[in-house]
């Protein structure tokens, strides 16, 4: 698992569609539903005629965590849902999630930290499940 400044990333040998199905199940197991889905590759093809490898953005939301965050900071909705991306690389598929702890840098109220930490733990567990799968 790779942890960047704003994301948590794993790689898998699974094909993009298999990785997407795996992360959807792993997220559901952690209490997240998918509220939005953006097929970036299809949109770029339709709007700009550009061909690119598969790339999807999934808007994942855990209702309990979202509610707790909204109780701390009404404007936190600007940072929701938790975006998870799935995209094809040359030799592997990448699955990454926005680092929830970035909220603690943007929201002054320290009460947001436990919510962000729990979201991170749940997302990390889901990503680890995908990382451990093989074709």
Q: How many CB atoms lie within 10 A of CB 61?
A: 17
For residues 110 and 118, give the distance between their C-alpha atoms in angstroms, rounded to a whole number.
14
Write down the pLDDT at residue 73.
Answer: 93
Sheet holding 55-61, edge to edge: 2-3, 7-12, 93-98, 82-88, 55-61, 33-39
What's the pLDDT at 122? 98
Q: Containing H/E element for 57?
A: strand 55-61
pLDDT tens per residue, range 47-103: 999 999 999 999 999 999 999 999 999 999 999 999 999 999 888 999 999 999 998
Q: Is residue 23's pLDDT more than 60?
A: yes
Distances in Å between the Cα of 4 and the Cα atoms of 70, 95, 97, 102 are 26, 13, 10, 11
pLDDT of residue 90: 84
The gap from C-alpha 70 to its chain's centroid, in whole angstroms, comes to 19
Name the band, by pLDDT with cuts 50, 70 and 90, for residue 5: confident
Domains of the chain: 2-131 (3.30.310.70)
DSSP 135: -
Q: How far apart are CA 74 and CA 84, in angstroms?
A: 22
Mean pLDDT of the chain: 94
What is the distance between the alpha carbons of residues 42 and 40, in angstroms, rounded to a whole number? 6
Secondary structure element (H or E) that encloses residue 107, with its range: none
pTM over 0.95: no
């Amino acid at each position: 698992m790779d942890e960047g400044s704003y994301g948590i990333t794993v790689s898998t040998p699974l094909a993009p569609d298999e990785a997407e199905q795996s992360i959807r199940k792993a997220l559901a197991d952690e209490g997240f539903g998918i509220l939005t889905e953006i097929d970036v590759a299809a949109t770029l093809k339709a709007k700009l005629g550009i061909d690119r490898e598969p790339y999807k953005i999934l808007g994942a939301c855990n209702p309990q965590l979202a509610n707790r965050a909204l109780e701390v900071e009404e404007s936190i909705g600007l940072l929701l849902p938790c975006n998870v991306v799935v995209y094809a690389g040359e030799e592997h598929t990448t699955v990454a999630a926005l680092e929830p702890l970035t909220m603690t840098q943007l929201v002054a109220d320290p009460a947001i930290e436990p919510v962000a930490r729990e979201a991170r733990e749940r997302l990390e567990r889901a990503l680890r499940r995908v990382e451990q799968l093989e074709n």
